[in-house]
């Protein structure tokens, strides 16, 4: 085995950038991802990255869901090199019913790029996802897309981003015109101008550079009026917005904004060049016992996603592990902390543009895919022996609830196993009612019920039927203290509405938001938590 080389280990960490692209569906996440891969030389032509979107109307089209699952395995991690920087893009599903997957993936990124459609502005899904990033101080860069179309005024949009997303922005590029009048981008970061030539749809952009705004060359290139407007606008930008400060960006206190058109490859190189320069390398991560630094020599990592094999004959799954510290090596025993068991992996996968390969060694920031026969659960931690657990991969309070019943009495074992494994994958959450032991499935989106039913049948040979249940919200209860009189009374009065989750934590299933409020008022010493991770 080669000796550990600390210097090259540090260099490997320094050159890694692991991030996610978040947006409301249709803002251009897939297109931007593809263009970034094109710049990295990881793919040769546009259209190579398949869309992982659940197309409208997919609720009744199960084959479509399966196909999408297949694609989402392939695009889970897209890695490429650019200027000797190793970039890992973690895919985040845009569909709102899969928002929980996205929240979990955000625990594994070191920064994000937020894509906003210039015409639609800040949309609902963007608001939710940015809020999660803001709470965790994740560094964010904003990319305003589709400048080739008519959209909102740039200053209005920047205001909207600040107000709706609660961000503090500073533009690092600025559009020259828009839609039909779109002429190009002034790059504040690099202090030059890239002019748009409308026919660059397929090829990587060609740009004409102008190094000085005051230069009369600008008037010749874009016309006197546009040149004067630009000069005024840039003066305004410099007057209104704070100067870019890398530390503030890295602390999540300031968000640089770029304008462009992903489809036309415009403004994408500027975004990428700035990204590799300012985006953070792998960051330290908090565990239940201490803050772990990526540069520590001992390996630690955690599972943020589990993907079932698409082939029903091979039941194994792929667990996606983010490496937090140390080197992950093939065929080396690591401690699975929750099970207190040593596990060795003979064929860990590393991810490249759209393929995966077995690797001997991976570094902090990287994602490895581990073959799993059912021992992993989302949130599990692996170490070289230290007992620690990474926090921050909670279950979120579901909003849809249904009883799940067995529809084929001969297959009850298969049903139990299937439900168990699908819950470990994080597809939905299982609650068992205290009163009668009935099983309830809680999900963030309604689409999951179809997915569960379909997958139970096709992967486990089990059949289920659902039954409606009048629950509006689930929340975790703290403390569970039998000596506390208020808790005792609460348990007695609310017995019908109490359940246990898979970790045996007590959950209150409120039948309406109103009754939840009333209950909270009545029992002030009890805390009602909206994520499972409140300890
Ligand atoms: P998503 O992953 O965020 O959901 O969005 P995606 O990239 O799939 O883009 C959504 C639609 O917006 C696509 O059109 C895409 O071509 C278009 N688009 C992306 N970037 C730009 C841009 O800079 N300018 C313009 N004008 N359009 C852009 P579609 O018709 O829905 O799909 P397709 O048939 O083109 O693939």
Q: Does the pLDDT at position 77 exceed 90? A: no
List the one residue out of 226, 253, 51 whose CA is nearest residue 162.
253
30 Cα: distance to centroid of ligand 1 (angstroms): 8
31 Cα: distance to centroid of ligand 1 (angstroms): 6
Contacts of 90 (CB under 8 A, 6+ apart): 18, 19, 20, 76, 77, 105, 108, 109, 367
Return the minimum-mean-pLDDT range out of 176-190, 238-252, 303-317.
303-317
pLDDT band at 58 (very low <50, low <70, confident <90, very high): very low
Q: What is the DSSP string of 326-354?
A: S-EETT--EEETTTTEEE--SS-EEE-SS
Q: Does the pLDDT at position 200 exceed 80? A: no
Whether the Cβ atoms of residue 22 and residue 143 lie closer than 8 Å to each other? no
Q: What is the best residue among 25, 27, 31, 58 to mutate for testing ligand 1's pocket, by most ligand atoms within 8 Å of CB?
A: 31
Which atom of ligand 1 is closest in space to residue 260's alpha carbon? 23
State the distance between the two ends of the chain, measured CA to CA, in whole angstroms.
41
- Counting Cβ atoms within 10 Å, is residue 243 exposed (0-12), middle (13-18) or buried (19+)? exposed
pLDDT band at 7 (very low <50, low <70, confident <90, very high): confident
Which atom of ligand 1 is closest in space to residue 115's alpha carbon? 3
pLDDT of residue 534: 54
Q: How far apart are CA 174 and CA 124, in angstroms?
A: 25
Q: How far apart are CA 452 and CA 430, in angstroms?
A: 12
Contacts of 529 (CB under 8 A, 6+ apart): 475, 476, 477, 478
Phi-psi region of 48 (alpha: psi -120 to 50; beta: other; left: phi over 0): alpha
Q: Does the pLDDT at position 296 exceed 70? A: yes
Contacts of 223 (CB under 8 A, 6+ apart): none
25 Cα: distance to centroid of ligand 1 (angstroms): 9
Using the CB atoms, write b or e for 201-237: b if 16+ within 10 Å.
Answer: eeeebebeebeeeeeeebeebbeeebbeebeebeeeb
Contacts of 163 (CB under 8 A, 6+ apart): none
Q: How far apart are CA 440 and CA 429, in angstroms?
A: 8
Whether the Cβ atoms of residue 174 and residue 256 lie closer than 8 Å to each other? no
The mean pLDDT value for 463-472 works out to: 94
DSSP structure class, residue 368:
E
Q: What is the best residue among 143, 263, 269 to mutate for testing ligand 1's pocket, by most ligand atoms within 8 Å of CB?
A: 263
Q: Does the pLDDT at position 55 exceed 50? A: no
Which atom of ligand 1 is closest in space to residue 53's alpha carbon? 4
27 Cα: distance to centroid of ligand 1 (angstroms): 7
The pLDDT > 70 percentage for the chain reads 87
Q: How far apart are CA 5 and CA 11, in angstroms?
A: 10
Give nearest CA residue, ligand 1 atom 26: 146
- Counting Cβ atoms within 10 Å, is residue 41 exposed (0-12), middle (13-18) or buried (19+)? exposed
Which atom of ligand 1 is closest in space to residue 24's alpha carbon? 3
Report CA 472 to chain centroid distance, whole Å: 26
**230-276 pLDDT per residue, tens:** 999 999 999 999 999 999 999 999 999 999 999 988 889 889 999 99
117 Cα: distance to centroid of ligand 1 (angstroms): 10
Pocket of ligand 1 (CB under 6 A): 23, 25-31, 51, 53, 94, 145-146, 148-149, 261-264
**401-424 pLDDT per residue, tens:** 999 999 999 999 999 999 998 888
3-state DSSP assignment of residue 114: strand
Which atom of ligand 1 is closest in space to residue 23's alpha carbon? 3
Q: What is the DSSP string of 200-221?
A: -SSSPP-------TT-THHHHH
pLDDT band at 310 (very low <50, low <70, confident <90, very high): low
pLDDT band at 57 (very low <50, low <70, confident <90, very high): very low
Give nearest CA residue, ligand 1 atom 14: 26
Q: How far apart are CA 423 and CA 343, in angstroms?
A: 22
List the one residue out of 112, 450, 92 whose CA is nearest residue 304.
92
The mean pLDDT value for 32-60 works out to: 64
Stated pTM of the model? 0.85
Q: What is the best residue among 24, 27, 28 to mutate for testing ligand 1's pocket, by most ligand atoms within 8 Å of CB?
A: 28
Q: How far apart are CA 97 and CA 256, in angstroms?
A: 29
Q: Does the pLDDT at position 105 exceed 60? A: yes
The count of other CB atoms within 10 Å of the CB of residue 518 is: 12
291 Cα: distance to centroid of ligand 1 (angstroms): 40
**337-390 pLDDT per residue, tens:** 999 999 999 999 888 766 778 889 999 999 999 988 888 988 999 999 999 999
254 Cα: distance to centroid of ligand 1 (angstroms): 28
Contacts 24+ apart (CB under 8 A), 163-166: 164/121, 164/122, 164/127, 165/114, 165/122, 165/126, 165/127, 165/130, 165/131, 165/134, 166/130, 166/131, 166/134
Return the minimum-mean-pLDDT range out of 43-52, 54-63, 274-283, 427-436.
54-63
List the one residue out of 323, 325, 321, 322 whose CA is nearest residue 293.
325
Q: Cα dist. 113→32, 188, 267 in Å?
A: 10, 18, 14
**382-397 pLDDT per residue, tens:** 999 999 999 866 677 7
Using the CB atoms, write b or e for 468-487: b if 16+ within 10 Å.
Answer: ebebebbbbbeeeeeeeeeb
527 Cα: distance to centroid of ligand 1 (angstroms): 44
- As a whole number, the mean pLDDT across the chain is 87
Which atom of ligand 1 is closest in space to residue 149's alpha carbon? 26
Give the angle subtended at the CA of 421 by the CAs of 415 and 422, to the nearest 5°. 85
Contacts of 230 (CB under 8 A, 6+ apart): 174, 176, 186, 213, 218, 222
List the one residue out of 451, 460, 376 whose CA is nearest residue 415.
460
349 Cα: distance to centroid of ligand 1 (angstroms): 31
148 Cα: distance to centroid of ligand 1 (angstroms): 12
């Amino acid at each position: 085995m080669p000796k550990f080389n600390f210097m090259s280990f540090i260099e490997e960490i320094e050159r890694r950038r692991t991030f996610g692209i978040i947006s409301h569906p249709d803002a251009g996440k897939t297109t931007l991802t593809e263009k970034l891969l094109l710049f990295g030389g990881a793919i040769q032509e546009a259209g190579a990255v398949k869309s992982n979107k659940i197309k409208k109307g997919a609720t009744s089209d199960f084959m479509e869901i399966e196909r999408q699952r297949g694609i989402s395995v392939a695009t889970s991690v897209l890695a490429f090199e650019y200027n000797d920087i190793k970039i890992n893009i973690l895919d985040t599903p845009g569909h709102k019913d899969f928002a929980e997957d996205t929240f979990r993936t955000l625990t594994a990124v070191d920064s994000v790029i937020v894509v906003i459609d210039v015409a639609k502005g800040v949309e609902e899904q963007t608001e939710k996802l940015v809020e999660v990033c803001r709470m965790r101080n994740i560094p964010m860069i904003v990319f305003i897309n589709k400048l080739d179309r008519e959209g909102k005024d740039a200053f209005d949009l920047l205001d909207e981003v600040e107000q709706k997303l609660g961000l503090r922005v500073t533009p690092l590029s600025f559009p020259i015109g828009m839609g039909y009048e779109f002429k190009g981008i002034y790059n504040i970061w690099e202090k030059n101008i890239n002019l748009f030539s409308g026919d660059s749809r397929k090829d990587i952009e060609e740009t004409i550079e102008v190094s000085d705004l005051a230069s009369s060359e600008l008037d010749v290139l874009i016309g006197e009026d546009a040149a004067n407007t630009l000069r005024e606008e840039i003066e305004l930008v410099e007057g209104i917005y704070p100067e870019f400060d890398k530390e503030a960006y890295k602390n999540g206190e300031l968000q640089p904004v770029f304008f462009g058109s992903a489809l036309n490859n415009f403004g994408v190189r500027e975004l990428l060049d700035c990204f590799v320069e300012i985006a953070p390398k792998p960051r330290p991560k908090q565990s239940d016992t201490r803050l772990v630094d990526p540069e520590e020599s001992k390996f630690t990592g955690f599972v943020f996603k589990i993907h079932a094999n698409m082939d029903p004959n091979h039941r194994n799954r792929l667990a996606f592990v983010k490496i937090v510290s140390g080197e992950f090596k093939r065929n080396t025993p690591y401690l699975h902390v929750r099970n207190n068991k040593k596990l060795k992996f003979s064929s860990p996968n590393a991810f490249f543009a759209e393929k995966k390969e077995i690797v001997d060694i991976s570094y902090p920031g990287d994602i490895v895919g581990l073959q799993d026969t059912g021992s992993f659960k989302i949130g599990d931690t692996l170490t070289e022996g230290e007992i620690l657990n990474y926090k921050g991969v909670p279950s979120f309070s579901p909003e849809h609830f249904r009883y799940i019943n067995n529809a084929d009495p001969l297959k009850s074992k298969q049903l139990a196993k299937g439900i168990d494994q699908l819950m470990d994958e994080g597809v939905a959450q299982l609650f068992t009612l205290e009163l009668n032991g009935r099983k309830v499935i809680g999900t963030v989106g309604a689409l999951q019920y179809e997915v569960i039913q379909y997958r139970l049948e096709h992967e486990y040979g089990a059949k289920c039927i659902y039954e409606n249940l009048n629950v509006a919200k689930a929340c975790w209860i703290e403390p569970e203290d039998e000596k506390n009189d208020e808790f005792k009374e609460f348990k007695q009065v609310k017995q019908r509405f109490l359940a246990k989750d898979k970790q045996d934590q007590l959950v209150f299933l409120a039948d309406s938001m109103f009754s939840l409020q009333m209950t909270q008022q009545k029992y002030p010493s009890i805390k009602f938590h909206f994520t499972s991770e409140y300890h």
